[in-house]
Amino acid sequence: MSLERRIRAEIEDRIRSGEWRPGHRIPFEHELVARYGCARATVNKALTALSRAGLIERRRRAGSFVAFPHVQSAVLDIPDIRSVITERGDAYRFALLSRAVRPRRAAADEAPLKPVGPMLVLEGLHFAGAAAFCLEQRVIDLAAVPEARTADFSAMPPGSWLLDHVPWTEARHRIGAANADAGQAAHLGIAEGAACLVLERWTWRGGAGVTQARQLFPGPLFDLVATFRPGGA
C-alpha cells in the first residue's frame, strides 16, 4: 500500500464513518505533510483523488472540505452478461434464434446507425444454466463489419464476437421497461405482458455506427450493481 493510498484511505474512512460531516474542513495540505512526514506532492495526490471521487471539495485560499451530497446522482455499473452469469455460479450459454440480412436499416429505432446499407439482424438467448436470462435483438451494420456476414453466431454471442473483431471506441446506452410480447415471453419463459428491463446499446468505432443491441431481462428486479458517488455535479 502506497503512502498516498494510506492517506486517502484514512481520510475516506473518517468521512464515511460520519466523523467528518459534510462541510467539515479537513487538514490543510501542509498540515498533512507534517503529520505524515512526506512531500506535498504525495498529500496533494491523495486529496486530488478524493476530490475527483466527489468526497471532498477543494477551494483555493480556503482549504478542503467534506463535500455535501448535493445531487442525488449515482452510477450504475452495467456489467457484461456472461460475467454476471458465471460470477453467480451458473453455466453460461448462448443460443441463436434467428438470423437475417436486411437490405437497409429500418428508420425508427436504429436512427443512431447512420449508414443505409445492408444490415445483419440477429436474435438470440443468453442462458444462465437452463433458465433464459436475456433475450437479445441485435443489428449489425455489414458495411462497417463485412466479416459478420459469414461469422458463426450459433454459439458465440454476437457481442463477444464483435469485441474480438471490431473493438468499439464509443457506446451509448438507454435503459427502460417494456411489456414482453407473446414471442418474447415464450422465449424467456414468462407471461405475456410481464414487465422486462430493457437495455439498449449503440456502439461506434471511430465515428461510424457498428451495431445496435436491445436486450430484454425478465423482471421483476434485475440486480445490476451498486456504486457509490457522493457530491456529484
Q: Which stretch binds a copy of itself (CB under 8 A): 1-9, 115-123, 138-146, 195-203?
A: 195-203
Interaction with DNA in 21-50: which residues (CB under 7 A)? Answer: 28-30, 37-42, 44-45, 47-48
> Nearest distance from residue 89's CB to a copy of itself, in Å?
18
> Nearest distance from residue 15's CB to DNA, in Å?
15
- 59 near DNA, judged by CB under 7 A: yes
Of 37 and 176, the one with the shorter C-beta distance to a copy of itself is 176
- Is residue 29 within a helix (H) or strand (E), and if so which, with residue range? helix 29-36
Of 46 and 139, the one with the shorter C-beta distance to DNA is 46
- 173 near a copy of itself, judged by CB under 8 A: yes
Interaction with a copy of itself in 33-72: which residues (CB under 8 A)? Answer: 41, 68-72
Interface with a copy of itself (CB under 8 A), residue from 83, 181, 186, 189: 83
Amino acid (one-letter) located at 5: R
Helix (H, G, I), strand (E, B) or coil at 138: strand
* Distance between CA atoms of residues 185 and 197, nearest Å: 13
Give buried/exposed letters for 116-133 (b at 16+ CB in 10 A, else e).
eebbbbbbbbbbbeeebb
- Residue 156 CA to its chain's centroid (Å): 21
- 88 near a copy of itself, judged by CB under 8 A: no
Answer with the entry of a copy of itself, DNA, none that 76 interacts with (C-beta below 5 to 8 A by kind).
Answer: a copy of itself
**Strand ordering across the sheet containing 208-218:** 92-102, 119-128, 131-141, 208-218, 195-205, 170-179
Geometric angle at alpha carbon 101, from 170 and 119, rounded to 5°: 25
Binding site for DNA (CB under 7 A): 2-5, 28-30, 37-42, 44-45, 47-48, 51, 58-64
